[in-house]
Structures are given as structure tokens and as C-alpha cells.
Amino acid sequence: MHLLWAVSIRTSLLGEAALGDSPLSLASLGMLENLNARPGLTIAELSRRAPQTQQALSQIAARLEKLGCIERKLVPGSRGIGLYLTDAGARARVSAHETVEAFEAHIADALGTDRYQRLIESLAAAQPIIRALKPEPAAAVEAT
């Protein structure tokens, strides 16, 4: 298995386990983060930002709505339905952040301070480059 893929999968599994006591998943926390930064985003807008389908995002939104973390409202000046954090959603986001910070501290302890710092610096440098890449079908990637 390729290194980036393997580390990504393992980190996601560990992150989901760290959130075990929370009703939130990494995907739902990501949605809360997006809505905190940009209240009123629609499912369509979220799907352009996230590597998930509109159907998957709709399911996450429905779960967050049942948990009382978000609400749907008409977007002012539009016919779209936007998603907004509720007070409970804002509290859940903060609580999940505390869990994420503890998880990252655990990873830092496991790697050691110097190795962890180098990893963070490398990821910070790679993030804008990777973010600028456009998703391509598997056949197009194999041809390059």
C-alpha cells in the first residue's frame, strides 16, 4: 500500500476512535467546521469543498440536524436552503476540538517533538499544493 494512503487511512481510523464518546464523526466535525467558517452554505456548496457526494453530505447534515447541531434556513436573497450551526452545534464543535487536540498531542508524543514538528512543517508546505490539485479519474492518473 502506498505510504500517504496508508497513513491517511490509519490516521482517520485513530481519529474516529478518539471521537468514540462523541456523537460526531470526523466527517460531521468537518461539516461543523465549514459551517462555523461560512454560515449558510448549501449542500451543493459543501460538496464543491469536500471530497464527498451531495448524497453523503445530505446524510451527514440530516444526522447533525437530528442531534440539534445544525438547522436549515432559507439563504437570504436566494432560493437555496443553507445550513447553520445551532448553539448546541457550536458547543459540540468546541468539545470535539478538545478531543482532536488531545489526539494530536498523542501523535506528537508517539513521534517525538522533533519528528512531529518536521511532519507539521512538511504538511503545511504540501497543503496548498495538494489543495490546488484537481481530482482526476483513476484512468487519467494511471496514464501519467
The reply to whether 77 falls in a domain is: yes
The reply to whether 144 falls in a domain is: no
The whole domain housing 86 covers: 25-134
As for how many domains the chain has, the answer is: 1
- With bands split at pLDDT 50, 70 and 90, how would you rate the model's confidence at 28? very high
The reply to whether 17 falls in a domain is: no
- With bands split at pLDDT 50, 70 and 90, how would you rate the model's confidence at 20? confident
Nearest to 50 by CA among 22, 78, 41: 41
Task: Write the pLDDT tens digit of every residue in 70-98.
Answer: 999 998 888 889 999 999 999 999 999 89
Half-sphere exposure of 2 (CA within 13 A, CB side): 3
Phi, psi (5° rounding) for residue 73?
A: -145, 155
The reply to whether 58 falls in a domain is: yes
Asked which of 52-66, 87-101, 130-144 is least confident by mean pLDDT, the reply is 130-144
CA 7, distance to chain mean position in Å, is 16
The Cβ of residue 33 has, within 10 Å, a number of other Cβ atoms equal to 14
The reply to whether 2 falls in a domain is: no
Q: What is the pLDDT of residue 139?
A: 61
The Cβ of residue 70 has, within 10 Å, a number of other Cβ atoms equal to 26
CATH of the domain at 35: 1.10.10.10
Nearest to 35 by CA among 2, 1, 81, 4: 81
Q: What is the pLDDT of residue 143?
A: 58
Quick one: what percent of the chain has pLDDT higher than 90? 65
Task: Write the pLDDT tens digit of every residue in 37-50.
Answer: 999 999 999 988 87
The reply to whether 34 falls in a domain is: yes
Q: What is the pLDDT of residue 142?
A: 58
The reply to whether 12 falls in a domain is: no
The reply to whether 78 falls in a domain is: yes
